Amino acid sequence: MAERIYADDFQAKVLDSPVPVLVDFYADSCIACKKLAPTLCDVEEDYEGKVSVFKVNTGYDTKLVQEYEILSNPTLIFFKNGEAVDRQIGAKDYDELTDWIDGLI
């Protein structure tokens, strides 16, 4: 399962990461977020060493929500070389998600 991170460790785990990072901005009460969770676990396993996957709870990390202009859950942001390069909103199935990732790495 993707590790939950916080504003305090976002720089080290996402922006300074030597590999691309997929961040799932989610909420505990979000049905689409719960639907997406197992897919993210599969992605994390299949892309181990190539892409890191982390989760940010939008109910607690309002600084990151504001900084990355998160307006709905789930929002997936793909980071590469410390920069947010693309985003997807809403639950995606495995093929949609991996096609998107493959196009970015």
- Which position among 2, 33, 65, 101 bears the catalytic label? 33
Residue 73 and residue 30 in contact, taking contact as beta carbons nearer than 8 Å: yes
Residue 30 annotated as catalytic: yes
Phi, psi of 46 (to 5 degrees): -70, -25
Residue 74 and residue 24 in contact, taking contact as beta carbons nearer than 8 Å: yes
Q: Round to whole Å and give the CA distance between 65 and 70.
A: 5
Any bridge partners for residue 53, and if so which? 22
Residue 41 annotated as catalytic: no
- Which position among 4, 13, 27, 30 bears the catalytic label? 30
Catalogue the active-site residues: 30, 33
